Amino acid sequence: MSVDAKVSTVESPESIVAANKIINAVSRGDIITIHASCSVLYEGRAESTIAEGDRVVMIKPDGTVLVHGDEGYQPINWQASGSDVKAEIDGDGNLLIIGVDSEYLEVNCYAVYTVTLFDNTDKAELHVRGTEAEMHERILDDPQLVESGFHDLEHEKKFPFGRVDVFGYDSDGVPVIVEVKRRSANRDHVHQLYTYLKEYKERYSEDVRGVLVAPDCTDFIAEVLNAYDLGFVPLDPLDS
């Protein structure tokens, strides 16, 4: 299929033309992108308004509506999937894009620069490598990745204080709590592991060790781990 058959763009459409294009595209299940000068009204669990400014509005076939500004990857406002999307003309002749479910989102477009319609087909599934779950499996399959003699592993063992990623025993029979992170170790990771050890010691025994597994850590985090008497093992989530 040609590009022209998949994508069409209308530049500087009148509001009524833009509304008709959007209504038809919603019914077809197109992805719709509108570049416009607009304000945004939201009413739901909270209420918010955003004054007029140049923004990008995206409407997806599942009813998702996203309003993007010029910074960051997060939309400045949105309606989640499942909303009923409408395009109307207000009393001043402006295009209104409305998304309604249990909440209400209204985008008032004072000037519409472009409306782009994308007849997309995307049935591919997302395949992610390097997840924490894969790191867990690698440790369970090869406990020596943590340390020599690590044995009797239990995956996601439940304790009153939380679920431990990997629990086992070292070569001397001392319990070991292993916390696995797919990103560089930070203070929150250290605090989480330290809290697990503190709770374990209070409830069961002082004889326990903690090991943080992550791709890497800074010298500062290494010092913090050492101060709390915690171990660290580097493990690249993308290594097979």
If asked whether residues 95 and 156 sit together in one domain, one would say no
CB proximity list for 179: less than 8 A, separation 6 or greater: 164, 165, 189, 192, 193, 196, 210, 211, 212, 213
CA gap 91, 12 in Å, rounded: 20
Backbone angles phi, psi at 2, to 5 degrees: -75, 160
Residues 148-191 pLDDT 10s: 999 999 999 999 999 999 999 999 999 999 999 999 999 999 99
The H or E element spanning position 182 is: none
Across the range 126-146, mean pLDDT stands at 89
Q: What is the pLDDT of residues 55-100, one digit of tens each?
A: 999 999 999 999 999 998 899 999 989 999 999 999 999 999 999 9
Alpha-carbon span 177 to 228, nearest angstrom: 14
Confidence of residue 126 (pLDDT cuts 50, 70, 90): low
User: Is residue 125 a part of any domain in this protein?
Assistant: no
- Is residue 15 domain-shared with residue 114, that is, in the same domain? yes
* 45: confidence class by pLDDT, cuts 50, 70, 90: confident
* CATH of residue 10: 2.70.180.20
- What integer pLDDT is reported at residue 240 of this predicted model? 65
pLDDT confidence band for 44 (50 / 70 / 90): confident
Structural domain includes residue 124: no
CA distance 131 to 212: 16
114/157 same-domain check: no
What residue has token string 């530049």?
Answer: 11
The pair of structure tokens assigned to 221 is: 């985090």
- Asked whether residue 216 carries a pLDDT value surpassing 80, the answer given is yes
- Count of domains observed in the chain: 2
Domain with 224 in it: 132-234
**Beta-carbon-side half-sphere exposure of residue 97 (alpha carbons within 13 Å):** 36
Residue 239 lies in a domain: no
Query: What letter represents residue 11's amino acid?
Result: E
Using an 8 Å Cβ cutoff, are 71 and 78 in contact? no
147 inside domain: yes
Write out the two tokens for 44.
């739901």
